Amino acid sequence: MKRVFYLVPLLLFMILVGYFAVSLRPGHDIHELPSAMIEKPAPAFDLAGLGESKPLALDALKGHPFVINFFASWCVPCRIEHPLLMRLAEENHLPLYGIAYKDRSGPITNLLTTFGDPYRQVGMDSDGRVGLDFGVYGVPETYVVDSQGVIRRRFVGPLTAETVDKDLLPLLKQLGQS
């Protein structure tokens, strides 16, 4: 056996270590799934509004970029991002629309009355079908949609101030100008 063959196991191992090191890089969440709906048109929806409010339909939202936030009263991380959403709605006048995922009007109304309502409108997706069409696999999830109704970005999990400042707001600004 030529001497060089004996180096093969070591070389293969070093390549393996390289892959492992790359996958451990900070800021990289191995469990986050990329959305399959990016750059695809947002699925049409026409959801009943909260209580007596008017329905929330995709068609009515087209024409300007907007943000959809899937949330629920039973979702703990949603509470964590809620104050941030309130700030965005009040200070930045974010075009934020909420879709209540697998929930009922009662608990949602309680939630929004107690903690504040950052949404311009709320739609009730009680069976989660709209969520499924968007590819939602947990709450909260936030989608940025452009004026043509094409999904541009998805944020999984509660929004953080850093994500909002570095990613969400600049993206909206860029979409607003186009």
Partner 1 sequence: MITELGHFALILALFVAIIQSTVPLIGAARRHLGWMAVGRSCALTGFALTALAMLALMHAYVVSDFSVINVIENSHTDKPLMYKITGVWGNHEGSMLLWVFMLSLCAAAVALFSNNLPPALRARVLAVQGMIAVGFLLFILLTSNPFLRTFPPAPNGNGLNPVLQDPGLAFHPPFLYLGYVGFSVAFAFAVAALIEGRVDAAWARWVRPWTLASWCALTVGIAMGSWWAYYTLGWGGWWFWDPVENASFMPWLVGTALIHSSIVVEKRDTLKSWTILLAIITFSLSLVGTFLVRSGVLTSVHAFATDPERGMFILLLLVVAIGGSLTLYAIRAPALKGGGLFAPISREGALVLNNVLLSCGCATVFLGTLYPLFLDAVGGPKLSVGFPFFNRTFAPMMVPMVIAVGIGPMLAWKRGDLLGALQRLWVAYIATALVLLGTFYVTYGGPVLAVFGIGLSALLFTAVVTEFAERIRLFRVPFGDSVRRAIHLPRSAYGMTFAHLGLAVSVAGFAASAWAQEAIEILKPGGSIDIAGYHLTLEHVDRVPGPNYMADDATIRVTKGGAFFATLHPERRFFPLQQQTTGETAIHTNFLADLYVALGDGDQAGNWTVRVYWKPLVPWIWIGAIIMAFGGVVSLSDRRWRVGAAARSMRRPPQAVPAAGE
Partner 2 sequence: MKTLLLSALLLLVPIAAGAVEPNERLANPALESRARAISEELRCLVCQNESIDESGADLAHDIRVFLRERLTAGDTNAQAIQAVVSRYGQFVLLKPPVEPATYVLWYGPPALVVVGLLGAFFWLNRRQPGAADTAPLSPEETRRLDGLMRENDG
Binding partner selected for residue 10 from partner 2, partner 1, none, CB under the kind-specific 5 to 8 Å limit: partner 1
Tell me if 14 contacts partner 1 by CB under 8 A.
Answer: yes
Span of 46-54, 106-114, 129-137, 158-166 interacting with partner 2 by CB under 8 A: 129-137
CA distance 136 to 15: 35
Tell me if 76 contacts partner 1 by CB under 8 A.
Answer: no
Rounded to a whole number of angstroms, the minimum distance from the CB of residue 167 to partner 2 is 20
Tell me if 24 contacts partner 2 by CB under 8 A.
Answer: no
Tell me if 102 contacts partner 2 by CB under 8 A.
Answer: yes
CA distance 40 to 153: 10
CA distance 7 to 36: 42
CA distance 123 to 97: 8
Q: What phi and psi values does residue 81 have, to the nearest 5 degrees?
A: -85, -10
Tell me if 17 contacts partner 2 by CB under 8 A.
Answer: no
Q: Pick the closer one to partner 1 by CB: 64 or 74.
A: 74
Q: b or e along 31-61 (b: 16 or more beta carbons within 10 Å of the residue's beta carbon)?
A: eeeebebeeeebeebebeebeeeeebebeeb
Q: How far is CA 52 from the centre of its chain?
A: 27
Tell me if 113 contacts partner 1 by CB under 8 A.
Answer: no
Q: Which of residues 69-88 bind partner 2 (CB under 8 A)?
A: none
Rounded to a whole number of angstroms, the minimum distance from the CB of residue 53 to partner 1 is 32
Q: Which of residues 25-54 bind partner 1 (CB under 8 A)?
A: 26, 30-31, 33-34
Segments in the chain forming alpha helices (H): 8-23, 58-61, 76-91, 105-115, 129-134, 161-163, 169-177
Rounded to a whole number of angstroms, the minimum distance from the CB of residue 74 to partner 2 is 11
Chosen residue from 41, 55, 138, 176 binding partner 2 by CB under 8 A: 138
Rounded to a whole number of angstroms, the minimum distance from the CB of residue 161 to partner 2 is 27
